Amino acid sequence: AQTVTQSQPEMSVQEAETVTLSCTYDTSESDYYLFWYKQPPSRQMILVIRQEAYKQQNATENRFSVNFQKAAKSFSLKISDSQLGDAAMYFCAYRSPNTGGFKTIFGAGTRLFVKA
Amino acid sequence: DVKVTQSSRYLVKRTGEKVFLECVQDMDHENMFWYRQDPGLGLRLIYFSYDVKMKEKGDIPEGYSVSREKKERFSLILESASTNQTSMYLCASSLYSNTGELFFGEGSRLTVL
């Protein structure tokens, strides 16, 4: 069965600095998608960034980028120039179109604190 | 923008009560999901539906049932609420495609006394 592991329950970063959130996953599939979702306090979860496993190039969305290491099954999220609004729970997630239907598997989450 | 609306943000129920959590999406998505979110456990899938009247069990379906009579509405039912069902419940929807992005509601925090 596929699993997603986020080993950092909490992280903190100074405003304007860079922080990296870690995620590892386990799968025997070769075709899958990886996601980072953000859940701000008392607000709905939204997609931050998505990576297709067949693409070697790391995905980037403005200040958010990933380091996707397929062989190592690692998918970390880098947030550059951190802002107060980045404070949230971040969830790493995995989905394979080949197994489990459309089920998305989530990690336990990392709570990010941003210090002014 | 996609909007997923959950009917109640906060509910307090007593043990043994029947509980209905309603979710409505306005983007004609085929797939709808109910997740449970607990600290340290992330999100765990309870049930999902890929079409009207179709449902599939997720990882933790025990004690729950679902109903999808219309494409836009997906209800989670706790037939007899128990204290271990105190949790945050998240509804999500997605297109019937391989991209798999989920659109979430704001969540329903249920407390069972």
The secondary structure of A33-55, three-state, reads EEEEEEECCCCCCEEEEEEECCC
Q: Tell me which chain A residue has its CA closest to the CA of residue B50.
A: A102
Tell if the CB–CB gap between A102 and B40 is shorter than 8 Å. Answer: no
Q: Is the pLDDT of residue A99 over 70?
A: no
* Torsional class of A99: left (φ above 0), alpha (ψ -120 to 50), beta (otherwise): beta
Which tens digits make up the pLDDT trace of A24-50? Answer: 999 988 888 999 999 999 889 999 999
- The answer to whether the beta carbons of residues A106 and A4 sit under 8 Å apart is yes
In chain B, which among 72-111 make CB contacts under 8 A with chain A? 90, 94, 96, 98-102, 104-107
CA atoms within 13 A on the CB side of A14: 1
Please report the pLDDT score of residue A97 as a whole number: 75
In chain A, which among 79-98 make CB contacts under 8 A with chain B? 91, 95, 97
Which tens digits make up the pLDDT trace of A42-98? Answer: 889 999 999 999 988 999 999 999 999 999 999 999 999 999 999 999 999 998 877
The lowest-confidence range among B44-53, B67-76, B77-86 is B44-53
Give kind and range of the element (H or E) at residue A93: strand A88-95
Chain B residues with CB under 8 Å of A102 CB are: 31, 48, 50, 94, 96, 100
Mean pLDDT score, A99-116? 87
Which of the four pLDDT bands, split at 50, 70 and 90, describes residue B11?
A: very high
Please report the pLDDT score of residue A2 as a whole number: 84
Please report the pLDDT score of residue B100 as a whole number: 72
Please report the pLDDT score of residue B2 as a whole number: 66
Chain B residues with CB under 8 Å of A101 CB are: 48, 50, 56
Tell if the CB–CB gap between A47 and B100 is shorter than 8 Å. Answer: no
